[in-house]
Structure 1
Amino acid sequence: MPKHIVAVIGAGKMGETVLSGLLRSGWPPDRLLVTTRREARGAELAERYGVAVVDNATAVRNADILAIGVKPQDAGAVLDDIGGRVPAGTLVVSLCAGLPTAFFAARLPEGTPVVRVMTNTPALVDEAMTAISAGAHATDAHLAVAEEMFAPLGRTVRVPEYQQDAVTAISGSGPAYFYLIVEAMIDAGVLLGLPRQTAHELVVQTALGSAVMLRDSGEHPVKLREAVTSPAGTTIAAIHELEKHGVRAALMGALEAARDRAREIADQAK
């Protein structure tokens, strides 16, 4: 992979996440370029990571992989700026939630390969879940390049593009749901009389251990839950309350809302 030069166009939160992950994986800083809208932000990234901060024209001219990390509502303006200057053979990797590859293809030279990527913030600790989809002109070789870029950040999976809005709802936004649950459990610990730091440590380690068991045991979550749930015990009393308050239905509704919002973003960007 070091033969490639990657330009992160618009290094906001997700763009910086990808940039820092590539560097941690051993990607040479001199093969990474960054563009930003604000000069102060560019100076911050240059100092933090030792990468070159350039304008969009320079990035397009020198990189053979363009990772578009701007907000979805800003993607059209960026593509209007760079679209006509993208050389043949350049791979465009979209990090823009909700935007289909067709949005990019319509604004780039005919035949430009586009790969749509949805990753998440655990990339900062190399535990991301990244879903990768091919646009109309992207081949297996292009998907393999994207996988090499994101594999050091965690796990990758290929999905058909029509599933990307569901991916966005589940894993793209997913960390926020878990943080909210953890926050609520910590507050409950305080309510039950624990010091906040103790509650924090108990909940976070429990979440971590449970996630590792889910990943590594191969067991269905129902079986793992049942193993903790004794007849007439404390766990079933808690689960009864959760079910009574519709937690399962609330989660399903929340994910549907996130999926629908991803679709709205695509419609608004047309």
Structure 2
Amino acid sequence: MKDKKEEVRRMLLNYYGKIASGHRKGCCNEVLSCCGGPQKNDEVFGKLGYSPDVFERVPREANLGLGCGNPLRSACLKRGETVLDLGCGAGFDCLIAAGEVGEEGLVIGVDMTPEMIARARENAEKAGCRNVDFRLGDIEKLPVADESVDVVISNCVINLSPEKERVFREAFRVLKPGGRLAISDILALKELPQEIKRNPDLYAGCISGAVTAEEIERILRKVGFVDISIEPVPGSSSFIRDWAPGVGVDDHVTSALIIARKRV
């Protein structure tokens, strides 16, 4: 099992490292084709609920088209809060959040891919953001202090982890009492067929690692979260089916918004 987890880790490092360095366009390859350049990325993120004026504040280079929802719509960020983004990528959600929490707040982005962290820091420099801190690390073992974060966000990342319970335990650990979880992710609608589960491209493309809403709720309750809400994103099948044309993945997975709270 340990070897399998390490194999997944190496595959993801290679896959997303190539995206960050420009050697792979978004999640595209011989199977997946969800991207189409900056204009397509903007179009998809518009459908996910991001306002057009966000690109007046955030460099377009930060939008790699890798999200499946908009966790910030439900994060209800306040001035002065500390926000943690699990799997921050090139920094898109972090830079938006930085504007919402203001200079007195802090946004921490954690990503396992060195190329992504480098790109996120470049984008923060372009945006003139001084209240962001991008850290190289694993979401299963966060480089973040206990009870130091008000809100944990994530966008289409936790499905990639083969150790989802560890991820949520870490999120619980770093949240302050009363802290909030607001996550957009891909969830399975039913048991995934073996041909999907065994496809490495579909795993890296946020499909094969998805589990059901029932499983996510079970983990959240086991870890200690309360006030749990898991709601599918309306219309998400319209862009999910484009991730793997002809495979029918939209019959098996959906984008969902996961909200929970750490008890005071």
State TM-score, norm by structure 1. 0.40
Select the structure that is richer in strand. 2
Q: Relative contact order (alpha carbons < 8 A, sep ≥ 6): 1 or 2 greater?
A: 2
Select the structure that is richer in helix. 1
State TM-score, norm by structure 2. 0.41
